């Protein structure tokens, strides 16, 4: 079926026209060499790598899966060779500091790279993707000695990384972890011995790199109970000297790998630590705070799995709908010389295709919008600017992760519906997309956990301050481009700006009411949170489609570029606002309901 083709025109439209990345990069003196030509060359080369090297391994890697033999894991055929090409081309080192083997390019460019890899072959992307989180965590919380010991080879991709959180008795509730860390010889300067077992460890064991650096949550002796007593450790698979040389094997082993539903080319392992040597990362009993550096990085990356699945499903569905002949159009024959009309002429098929298109392209815009904030957090010399960006990204991260994976799964399911029976069989590749993306709503925090983080922590604990700032930004955009400001495209934009304005005002009102209700009954937080998050996601995506429509109108008026391309953006925006955005009405209704109907049924009545 359809091979991956990098959406270069769409990426160019977003970064150059909608979000003006050239001006964004020019703000930071560290990025003076990051010119539009350089960015274009990098994106083109990465797209080519994804098309030629990663996409051909996507289905074969799924069919073969990973192999386990007495603790040794072998990745699918072709993965090892592709990984060597990946690191030799410098893709892994793209965004890391030059002093640690990186190229010093902005994180946003790394996420743009990941957006293409996610669609081409998510299972392969898991291996270098986990390393990104591990590197960022050591970079943020490691000592100078730890950075010099581990980061250069991790940055280059010679070593990889993982995060080891989950244990058999606990998943989300990390306060239950039992893995122990004991100072060697009673002296923490000599390191610690780590003992315990971790499950569901993505890229926990494989044959792609000479060493794997595990980031592990464990408890020190006499640590407080619950999450307050968790510390974070660096535990290498192979022991490493102070100058970064690989020594003997550490007491780290792979007990088994999971036989799972999807992303079968990516190993999910049980990792056992039996008095393995490790090093404290950050302060004692502050491990969960340090781990959030890893988790936030991965959550943004996981949102791209949802976007990638939506894009892959759309492209496959579109090709199939144009080619597959089935029935006649209700309004008359469209292809009278053929036995039937193609699927794409039927309104319901178009509804599904446009939903996929709106989700995939709108979702990519949401991530690229957030990527600018990651650069500001890293590079802004003004502490106020960094903190402002960090707070805004903190608000948006749970929305990105949960909303885009849920809608990505929706898009994949629509693809299977368009294919009909042919989508249910292996050879078309559609059922693989459905299986692969299903995990994205679960790992790195389920949709419910992201929703509690958003409503319970980011909204209620701040009394909605950050939300008000984001809403003010959207309302400023709406007014700026409306007829009220004599915008040249105000009349055309009214169909987007007016419903968006009304809903953003309602968003703030609903949030205030939920805050008052939560003060009286905390169960409202749990009963409303998922619907509230999805509600937020649809408004965020509407903002992105309004921005893209505005940009498209400006480009058409200027007579530059592909008019058909820009008109496609406007038409998709119209579809989004007419057919998808109204979902906020039902969500806003149900999320405001009293939790009584959810909570009053007794446990005995569940049967």
**Per residue in 201-241, pLDDT tens?**
999 999 999 999 999 999 999 999 998 999 999 999 999 99
Average of per-residue pLDDT across 326-344: 93
Name beta bridge partners: 72. Answer: 69
What are the pLDDT digits (tens) for 496-529? 999 999 999 999 999 999 999 999 999 999 999 9
Give the pTM: 0.96
Domain ranges within the chain, ordered by starting residue = 8-141, 160-285, 446-599
Higher pLDDT, 312 or 291: 312
29 SS3 class: helix
> How does residue 289 score in pLDDT terms, banded at 50, 70 and 90?
confident
Q: Is 444 a catalytic residue?
A: yes
Average of per-residue pLDDT across 333-348: 94
> How does residue 189 score in pLDDT terms, banded at 50, 70 and 90?
low
486: left (phi over 0), alpha (psi -120 to 50) or beta: left
Distance of alpha carbon 531 from the chain centroid: 20
How would you classify the pairing of strands 211-218 and 159-164?
Answer: parallel
Domain covering 160-285 in this structure, CATH number = 2.40.110.20
Would you state the pLDDT for residue 187? 60
Domain covering 8-141 in this structure, CATH number = 1.10.540.10
Q: How far apart are CA 434 and CA 542, in angstroms?
A: 25
Average of per-residue pLDDT across 431-448: 96
What are the pLDDT digits (tens) for 76-123? 999 999 999 999 999 999 999 999 999 999 999 999 999 999 999 999
Q: Is the pLDDT of residue 484 over 70?
A: yes
330: left (phi over 0), alpha (psi -120 to 50) or beta: alpha
Cβ neighbours, 10 Å, residue 369: 18
Q: How far apart are CA 240 and CA 150, in angstroms?
A: 8
> How does residue 298 score in pLDDT terms, banded at 50, 70 and 90?
confident
- Phi/psi for 136 (5° steps) reads -60, -35
Residues 437 and 412 sit within 8 Å (Cβ to Cβ): yes
Average of per-residue pLDDT across 578-600: 96
Would you state the pLDDT for residue 188? 57
> How does residue 583 score in pLDDT terms, banded at 50, 70 and 90?
very high
Among residues 356, 366, 307, the alpha carbon closest in space to that of 536 is found at 366
Residues 242 and 150 sit within 8 Å (Cβ to Cβ): no
Among residues 301, 336, 363, 79, the alpha carbon closest in space to that of 209 is found at 79
| Catalytic site residue from 53, 444, 503, 531 | 444
CA 58 → CA 46, 199, 321, 422, distances in Å?
A: 16, 25, 22, 19
Q: Is the pLDDT of residue 285 over 80?
A: yes
What are the pLDDT digits (tens) for 66-87? 999 999 999 999 999 999 999 9
Q: What angle do CA 91, 77, 305 make, to 5 degrees?
A: 50
What is the chain's alpha carbon radius of gyration, rounded to the nearest angstrom? 25
Q: Is the pLDDT of residue 302 over 90?
A: yes
Name beta bridge partners: 211. Answer: 159
Residues 131 and 154 sit within 8 Å (Cβ to Cβ): yes
What are the pLDDT digits (tens) for 249-266? 999 999 999 999 999 999
Cβ neighbours, 10 Å, residue 60: 13
Q: What angle do CA 49, 126, 216 make, to 5 degrees?
A: 145
Q: What percent of the chain shows pLDDT beyond 90?
A: 92
Name beta bridge partners: 193. Answer: 182, 277
> How many distinct helices (H) and strands (E) make up the chain?
19, 11
Q: Residue 19: CB partners within 8 Å, gap ≥ 6? A: 368, 369, 372
Cα dihedral 324, 325, 331, 335 in deg (nearest 10): 110
Q: Which range among 278-287, 288-297, 402-411, 578-587 shows the weakest confidence by mean pLDDT?
A: 288-297
Q: Which range among 51-55, 372-376, 484-488 shows the weakest confidence by mean pLDDT?
A: 484-488
- Whole-number mean pLDDT of the chain? 95
Would you state the pLDDT for residue 358? 98
Q: What percent of the chain shows pLDDT beyond 70?
A: 99
């Amino acid at each position: 079926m359809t091979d991956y083709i990098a959406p270069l025109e769409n990426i160019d439209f977003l970064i150059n026209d909608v979000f003006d990345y050239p001006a964004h990069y020019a703000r930071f003196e560290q990025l003076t060499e990051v010119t539009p030509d350089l960015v274009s060359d990098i994106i083109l080369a990465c797209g080519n790598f994804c098309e030629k090297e990663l996409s051909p391994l996507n289905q074969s890697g799924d069919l073969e899966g990973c192999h386990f033999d007495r603790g040794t894991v072998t990745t699918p055929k072709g993965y090892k060779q592709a990984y060597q090409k990946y690191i030799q081309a410098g893709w892994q080192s793209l965004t890391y500091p030059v002093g640690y083997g990186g190229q010093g390019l902005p994180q946003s460019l790394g996420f743009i790279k990941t957006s293409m890899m996610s669609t081409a072959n998510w299972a392969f992307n898991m291996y270098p993707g986990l390393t990104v989180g591990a590197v960022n965590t050591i970079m943020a919380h490691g000592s100078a000695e730890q950075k010099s010991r581990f980061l250069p080879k991790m940055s280059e991709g010679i070593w990889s990384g993982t995060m080891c959180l989950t244990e058999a008795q606990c998943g989300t509730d990390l306060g239950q972890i039992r893995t122990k860390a004991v100072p060697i010889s009673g002296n923490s300067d000599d390191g610690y011995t780590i003992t315990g077992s971790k499950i569901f460890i993505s890229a926990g064991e494989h044959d792609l790199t000479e060493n794997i650096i595990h980031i592990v949550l464990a408890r020190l002796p006499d640590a407080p109970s619950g999450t307050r007593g968790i510390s974070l450790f660096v535990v290498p698979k192979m022991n490493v000297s102070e100058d970064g040389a690989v020594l003997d094997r550490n007491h780290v082993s792979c007990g088994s790998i999971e036989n799972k539903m999807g992303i079968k080319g990516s190993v999910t392992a049980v990792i056992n630590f039996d008095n393995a040597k490790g090093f404290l990362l950050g302060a004692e009993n502050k491990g969960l705070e340090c781990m959030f550096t890893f988790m936030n990085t991965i959550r943004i990356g996981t949102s791209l799995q949802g976007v990638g699945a939506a894009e892959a499903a759309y492209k496959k569905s579109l090709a199939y709908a144009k080619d597959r002949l089935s029935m006649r159009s209700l309004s008359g024959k469209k292809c009278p010389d053929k036995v039937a009309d193609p699927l794409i002429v039927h309104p319901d098929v178009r509804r599904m295709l446009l939903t996929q298109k709106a989700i995939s392209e709108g979702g990519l815009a949401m991530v690229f919008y957030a990527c600018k904030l990651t650069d500001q957090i890293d590079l802004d010399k003004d502490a106020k600017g960094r903190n402002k960006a960090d707070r805004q990204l903190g608000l948006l991260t749970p929305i990105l992760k949960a909303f885009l994976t849920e809608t990505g799964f929706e898009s994949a399911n629509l693809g299977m519906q368009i294919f009909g029976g042919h989508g249910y069989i292996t050879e078309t590749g559609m059922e693989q997309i459905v299986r692969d993306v299903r995990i994205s709503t679960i790992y790195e925090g389920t949709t419910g956990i992201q929703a509690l983080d958003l409503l319970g922590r980011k909204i209620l604990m701040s009394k909605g301050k950050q939300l008000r700032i984001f809403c003010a930004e959207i309302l400023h955009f709406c007014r700026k481009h409306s007829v009220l400001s004599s915008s040249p495209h105000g009349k055309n934009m009214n169909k987007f700006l007016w419903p968006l304005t009304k809903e953003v005002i309602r968003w703030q009102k609903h949030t205030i009411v939920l805050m008052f209700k939560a003060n009286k009954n905390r169960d409202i937080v749990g009963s409303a949170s998922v619907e509230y998050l999805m509600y937020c996601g649809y408004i965020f995506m509407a903002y992105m489609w309004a921005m893209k429509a505005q940009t498209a109108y400006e480009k058409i008026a200027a007579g530059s570029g592909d008019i058909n391309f820009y008109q496609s953006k406007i038409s998709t925006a119209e579809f989004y606002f007419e057919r998808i955005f109204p979902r906020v009405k039902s969500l806003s209704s149900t999320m405001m309901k009293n939790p009584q109907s959810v909570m009053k049924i007794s446990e005995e009545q569940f049967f």
